[in-house]
Structure 1
Amino acid sequence: MSIVLYHHPFSRASSVVWMLEELGVPHELRFVDLMKGAHKAPELIALNPMGKLPILVDGDAVVTESAAIGLYLADRYSLGRLAPLPDDPLRGTYLRWSFFAPSVMEPGSMAKAANWQFKPSQAGWGDYEAMLQAMESAVTGREFLLGDRFSMADVIFGGTLRYMLRFNMLEPKPAFVAYSERLAARPALQRADARNLAIAKEHGLNPG
């Protein structure tokens, strides 16, 4: 077993569990006690100087940032299935929405919630309403981001969308709710949710 995920069920590492379940590859979850500051331990700082989770170690490869982990895993273990091939025209759409989650959805929602003052034309995430319209366009009239084909982009984009809906960080537009429900029906996501919940209970954590 070469894949190790440094994990806490209330961190972005929880979404990586879904990625790994979709792939069906052997792996180990290594619990990191965030409440005790274990993510700042020297051995983890050596893997990720940001001192954050998730951290994925796959043999000699060390990958951080959840979107990067998803793209790495899909290319290495599911190229042509969860990741379109490099010459597939869908590859561009796949990459677009994979990067949209961390570079637009997350900062855009934070800016809205905290009432940041900025010029949308000067911010990488742009205008909040335009962001919502783009997200709606991505999930309306199709089952998944690539049409009827599920991909790792759905885990990255969809996982962020599900989190934001759960914590009322995003307006529950019908297209978002319907897409989230389609994702929730996936057995791999159900297994991942169950694993994260079990680990939370094992460590006395309240899932809220």
Structure 2
Amino acid sequence: MADELVFYTNPMSRGRIARWMLEEIGQPYRTEVLEFGPEMKSDAYRAVNLMGKVPAIRHGNQVVTEVPAICAYLADAFPEAGLAPEPARRGDYYRWLFFAAGPLEAATTNRALGVEVPEDRRGMVGYGSLEDTLNTLEAALAGREYIAGDRFSAADVYVGSHIGWGLRFQTIDPRHVFADYCGRLVNRPAAVRAREIDDDLMRKSFKENVE
């Protein structure tokens, strides 16, 4: 019997990215929805993720947290989905997957929080400046269909989600390269299914809370 795949999430979290990845691999999985607060910080869930945060997955005896790690793990665990380049061609794949997890997320989060890094202190932060970060990402996508080359991969799930959220919440400048890239991703069948599942969970949660 194949190892069970369990997904711990909340539809108003970064779990939406992991959900998209799970839909891309096309394998059965069981969803455990946790509410923010006591349930997510419970001893039962901290046995899965000591941080008391979602998302996380359990695949047999393996527990994986952190969204980029979940994306990379699932691509490797289910190679038949074709969501990772062959090992000898993974330079861009790893580079941009972790660029989004590091410099891009830090830079856009600081923008959302109104944090300005003094120019003479930019060497202390991994991204330097938001402008440098966005210029680098724009250059990477210019002339490419996908972030790691001419094939969709798990890196696109993660990078595309960050850019999409950044455009929506105005933490990323609305550059044509970013909009065009997201436009190529948003209507993928797995992306549509994932949004529908999580949006439905949000509606059910709202209905339960008001009744």
Aligned counterpart, 2:161: 159
Q: Are the aligned partners of 1:79 and 1:85 in contact in 2 as well (CA < 8 Å)?
A: no
> Is this contact kept in 2: 1:144–1:179, CA < 8 A?
yes
The residue that corresponds to 1:78 in the other structure is 79
Gaps of 5+ in 2: none
**Aligned-residue CA RMSD (Å):** 1.5
Contact between 2:146 and 2:156, CA under 8 Å: does it hold in 1? yes
Distance 2:71 2:79 in 1: 11
**Aligned-partner SS, 1:48:** coil
User: Is the CA contact (8 Å cut-off) linking 2:25 and 2:81 kept in structure 1?
Assistant: no
Structure 2 residue identity aligned to 1:158? G
The equivalences for 1:1-208 within 5 A come to 2-34=4-36, 36-78=37-79, 81-87=82-88, 89=89, 91-113=90-112, 114-118=114-118, 119-204=121-206
Deviation at 1:195, TM superposition (A): 0.6
Q: Is the 8 A contact 2:108 2:172 kept in 1?
A: yes
Deviations 1:83-116 (A, max 9, x none): 11222x2x01000010011211111112234223
Aligned residue for 2:51, secondary structure, equals coil
Higher mean C-alpha displacement, 186-195 vs 142-151: 142-151
Give, in whole Å, the separation in 2 of the partners of 1:80 and 1:189: 15
Seq. identity, %: 37
| Structure 2 CA distance for aligned equivalents of residues 185 and 13 of structure 1 | 19
TM-score (norm 1): 0.92
Code of the aligned partner of 1:187: P
SS in 2 for 1:51: coil
Query: Does structure 2 retain, via aligned residues, the 8 Å contact 1:83–1:151?
Result: yes
Q: What amino acid maps onto 2:84 in structure 1?
A: A
Give the partner amino acid of 1:115: V
